[in-house]
């Protein structure tokens, strides 16, 4: 979502006549589009901003946007006096106004609304890739998991009009994009805040799949509670919709899930996994897990371990719990020591590594469809891309295949990357 917001802001700045610079020493405007999800993300930005303040770059205009703008507001000016503007996640449309204000008055500017009310110019975004890109469909979150800062930094759920989404996707296809990722903090809540549209997430997917030239659709992220049978059926039946679904479990013990306010039990979660796999046998499920949530016992962690072993996710993002200001969990003592958190994390990482190895082994000899993204950095005779299930594949081929779909037979792997031979072109 931050990358998408960055591309929208880059588009706005280019229309003002600015050009992108990757050289921070020469840039006239430096914008830090920040993340608050864990302490580590915030500390990195604070460190970088501190360094810039001590350097000679004070004559550049410096702005802080994204979740940290909403989480820290005016306090950013106090801690970092060289920051010129603070623009929250709901105020991106005001970037021009704020820049004008800073340029004209040499004073600081701040906008941090709690609700997203102004649609952005997504069509005018300056996108990094010409092949794959993202499309924002819903912003904010109403779930209020007790550990999570997102509902406070990105505000309540606001769905985007389906006609606008379809039009943006149509234009992107015309521009040659082959893979679109629908974005939201919780995409499957799409439409719940706009009942009169009569468009649920799966309805939107059916509409998008019908667009001529639509090759691949992905989406992220999802909350298990809102993964409906209709959505599973869409994943099974729509040609363009990739069979890869992020299905974040977070924890494997009912007591912890309840304390996290995840509003499902382990049994309910497992039932959905079973239904999904029954309806779509080749579905790949991804997950997010937090270890060391306040009061998580060794036995409860073992339940998470056991569940991960049982489910065998094809992709897992594993995190140590990080207390966030303003969240309910912040009131509870962060009582699992760093050492124990790290131990638990390492155990899950090695378990997942074993699962990946087993899955890679099972894939050998099979054929997969790869969207070719680029030549490899090591050898231009080799090209690289991803399968519908997000696996990275390298095989022999020339640069002119970039942007095409290739059938590849897998014969080996190197670390996480699968290796194969091209057997046919799809387009």
Query: Could you tell me if 84 and 102 are in contact, meaning their C-beta atoms sit under 8 angstroms apart?
Result: yes
- Residue 153 binds which entry of ligand SF4, ligand SAH, none, with Cβ cut-offs from 5 to 8 Å by kind? none
Instruction: Pick the binder of ligand SAH from 63, 66, 248, 385 (CB under 6 A).
Output: 248
Touching ligand SF4, residues 148-187 (CB under 6 A): 148, 150-151, 185-186
Should residue 410 be labelled a site residue for ligand SF4 when binding is judged by CB under 6 A? Answer: no
| Residue 187, token pair as written in the block | 């995409």
- What's the CA gap between 367 and 201, in Å, rounded? 30
Query: Could you tell me if 225 and 260 are in contact, meaning their C-beta atoms sit under 8 angstroms apart?
Result: no
- Residue 38 binds which entry of ligand SF4, ligand SAH, none, with Cβ cut-offs from 5 to 8 Å by kind? ligand SAH
| Residue 304, token pair as written in the block | 């998470």
| Residue 84, token pair as written in the block | 């010129």
Q: Which is nearer to ligand SAH, 63 or 140 (CB)?
A: 140
Nearest distance, CB of residue 273 and ligand SAH, angstroms: 15
Report the SS3 class of residue 286. strand
- What's the CA gap between 360 and 356, in Å, rounded? 6
CA 26 distance to own-chain centroid: 30
Per DSSP, what are the bridge partners of residue 284? 244
Per-residue contact string for residues 274-313; x = within reach of ligand SAH by CB under 6 A? --------------x-x-----------------------
Q: What are 18-21's contacts with CB under 8 Å, separation 24+? A: 20/126
- Residue 37 binds which entry of ligand SF4, ligand SAH, none, with Cβ cut-offs from 5 to 8 Å by kind? ligand SAH
Should residue 45 be labelled a site residue for ligand SF4 when binding is judged by CB under 6 A? Answer: no
Angle between helices 266-279 and 229-237 in degrees, nearest 10? 30
Q: Which is nearer to ligand SAH, 85 or 147 (CB)?
A: 147
Nearest distance, CB of residue 144 and ligand SF4, angstroms: 6
Instruction: Pick the binder of ligand SAH from 250, 314, 387, 406 (CB under 6 A).
Output: 250
Query: Could you tell me if 77 and 104 are in contact, meaning their C-beta atoms sit under 8 angstroms apart?
Result: no
Touching ligand SF4, residues 206-225 (CB under 6 A): 223
Should residue 215 be labelled a site residue for ligand SAH when binding is judged by CB under 6 A? Answer: no
CB-CB neighbours of 413 under 10 Å: 20
Should residue 38 be labelled a site residue for ligand SAH when binding is judged by CB under 6 A? Answer: yes
Q: What are 296-299's contacts with CB under 8 Å, separation 24+? A: 296/251, 296/253, 296/256, 296/321, 296/336, 299/253
Using CB under 6 A, which of the segments 50-58, 140-148, 268-276, 278-286 binds ligand SF4?
Answer: 140-148
Report the SS3 class of residue 274. helix
Question: Could you tell me whether strands 405-414 and 417-425 are parallel, antiparallel, or unpaired per DSSP bridges?
Answer: antiparallel
Instruction: Pick the binder of ligand SF4 from 137, 141, 232, 355 (CB under 6 A).
Output: 141
Nearest distance, CB of residue 285 and ligand SAH, angstroms: 13
CA atoms within 13 A on the CB side of 420: 28
Instruction: Pick the binder of ligand SF4 from 51, 144, 399, 416 (CB under 6 A).
Output: 144
Should residue 72 be labelled a site residue for ligand SF4 when binding is judged by CB under 6 A? Answer: no
What are the angstrom distances between the C-alpha of 81 and each of 61, 78, 249?
12, 6, 41
Instruction: Pick the binder of ligand SAH from 6, 90, 185, 314 (CB under 6 A).
Output: 185
Query: Could you tell me if 331 and 259 are in contact, meaning their C-beta atoms sit under 8 angstroms apart?
Result: no
Using CB under 6 A, which of the segments 5-13, 68-76, 320-328, 391-399 binds ligand SAH?
Answer: 320-328
- Residue 319 binds which entry of ligand SF4, ligand SAH, none, with Cβ cut-offs from 5 to 8 Å by kind? ligand SAH
Instruction: Pick the binder of ligand SAH from 133, 221, 304, 352 (CB under 6 A).
Output: 221
Nearest distance, CB of residue 150 and ligand SAH, angstroms: 6
Should residue 388 be labelled a site residue for ligand SF4 when binding is judged by CB under 6 A? Answer: no
Nearest distance, CB of residue 52 and ligand SAH, angstroms: 27
- What's the CA gap between 125 and 92, in Å, rounded? 12
Annotate 396-410 with b (16+ C-beta within 10 A) or e (fewer): ebeeebbbbbbebeb
Nearest distance, CB of residue 289 and ligand SAH, angstroms: 7
What are the angstrom distances between the C-alpha of 410 and each of 147, 220, 231, 382, 405?
41, 27, 30, 14, 15
Should residue 38 be labelled a site residue for ligand SF4 when binding is judged by CB under 6 A? Answer: no
Per DSSP, what are the bridge partners of residue 8? none
Nearest distance, CB of residue 345 and ligand SAH, angstroms: 11
282: left (phi over 0), alpha (psi -120 to 50) or beta: alpha
- Which residues contact ligand SAH by CB under 6 A? 37-38, 147-148, 185-186, 221, 223, 248, 250, 288, 290, 319, 321-322, 324
> Can you give the binding site for ligand SF4, defined by CB under 6 A?
141, 143-145, 148, 150-151, 185-186, 223
């Amino acid at each position: 979502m931050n990358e998408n917001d960055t591309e929208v802001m880059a588009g706005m700045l280019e229309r003002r006549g600015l050009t992108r610079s990757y050289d921070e020493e020469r840039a006239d405007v430096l914008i830090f589009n920040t993340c608050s999800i864990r302490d580590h993300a915030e500390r990195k930005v604070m460190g970088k901003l501190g360094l810039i303040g001590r350097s000679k770059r004070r004559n550049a205009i410096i702005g802080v946007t994204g979740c940290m703008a909403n989480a820290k507001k005016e306090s950013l000016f106090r801690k970092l006096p060289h920051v010129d503007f603070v623009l929250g996640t709901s105020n991106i449309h005001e970037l021009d106004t704020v820049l004008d204000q800073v340029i004209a008055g040499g004073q600081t500017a701040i906008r941090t609304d709690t609700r997203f009310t102004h649609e952005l110019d997504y069509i005018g975004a300056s996108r990094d890739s010409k092949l794959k890109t993202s499309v924002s469909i819903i912003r904010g979150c109403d779930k209020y998991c007790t550990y999570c800062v997102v509902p406070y930094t990105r505000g309540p759920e606001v769905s985007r009009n389906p006609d606008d989404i379809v039009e943006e996707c149509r234009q992107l296809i015309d521009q040659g994009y082959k893979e679109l990722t629908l974005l939201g903090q919780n995409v499957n809540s799409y439409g719940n805040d706009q009942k009169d549209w009569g468009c649920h997430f799966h309805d939107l997917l059916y509409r998008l799949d019908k667009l001529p030239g639509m090759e691949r659709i992905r989406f992220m992220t999802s909350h298990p509670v809102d993964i409906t049978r209709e959505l599973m059926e869409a994943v099974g039946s729509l040609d363009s919709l990739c069979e890869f679904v992020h299905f974040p479990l977070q924890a494997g013990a009912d007591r912890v899930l309840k304390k996290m306010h995840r509003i499902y039990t382990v049994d309910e979660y497992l039932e959905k996994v079973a239904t999904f796999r029954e309806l779509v046998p080749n579905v790949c499920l991804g997950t997010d897990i937090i270890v060391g949530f306040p009061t998580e016992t060794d036995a409860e962690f073992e339940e998470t371990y056991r569940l991960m072993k049982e489910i065998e996710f094809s992709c897992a993002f594993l995190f140590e719990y990080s207390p966030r200001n303003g969240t309910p969990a912040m009131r509870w003592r962060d009582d699992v020591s760093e050492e124990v958190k790290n131990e638990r994390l390492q155990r899950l990482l090695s378990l997942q590594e074993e699962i990946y190895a087993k899955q890679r082994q099972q894939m050998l000899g099979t054929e997969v469809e790869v969207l070719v993204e680029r030549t490899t950095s090591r050898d231009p005779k080799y090209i690289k891309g991803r399968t519908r299930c997000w696996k990275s594949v390298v095989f022999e081929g020339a640069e002119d295949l970039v942007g095409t779909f290739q059938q590849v037979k897998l014969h080996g792997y190197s670390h996480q990357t699968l290796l194969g031979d091209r057997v046919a072109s799809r387009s």
